[in-house]
Copies of this chain bind each other. A is one copy, B any other.
Amino acid sequence: MTVAETTTPPEAEAAWQILWELMLKQRTRFVEAVAELDLTPVQAIVLRRLDPERPTPMREIADMLRCDASNVTGIVDRLEARGAVERRPDPTDRRVKALVLTRSGRTLRRRALQKMGEPPPEIANLSRADLQTLHGILSRTTSR
């Protein structure tokens, strides 16, 4: 009997292992950080996705979250109830409702982005050289 073959190099598994641990820790940190703004994780992710310059169709949010469109209704309901966003009917396609950040929604978004952008101590404490190298390598994961 043969063991299922690993096409993945062992170096990748080792690196991924640590990255995974780091992500697990950050999950909790993220939840707590946005909770200080009275936001749930998904609400923060949606807020982050909304473009302050452009009304965003709800469909795009569902695609981004990879969830059913029906879920977006509730999430947006709560963001709207708190005055962060407004639904605006699209002039060209009347089926579409686009989301627009309110004045306070833009402020809230900015605060949320700030919290999310704050690197955790694990990262912040690395040397500049390490950080630059890390940045270089990580860039290669997105581009390609």
Contact = CB atoms under 8 A, between A and B. Distances in A.
A82 to B, nearest CB: 23
A130 interface: yes
B19 A123 contact: yes
A18 interface: yes
Instruction: Give the interface SS of chain A, mostly helix, strand, loop or mixed.
Output: helix
Interface string A1-39: 000000011011111111111111010100000000000
Nearest to A66: B28
A22 B141 contact: yes
Interface of A: 8-9, 11-24, 26, 28, 45, 66, 116-120, 122-126, 128, 130-135, 137-142, 144
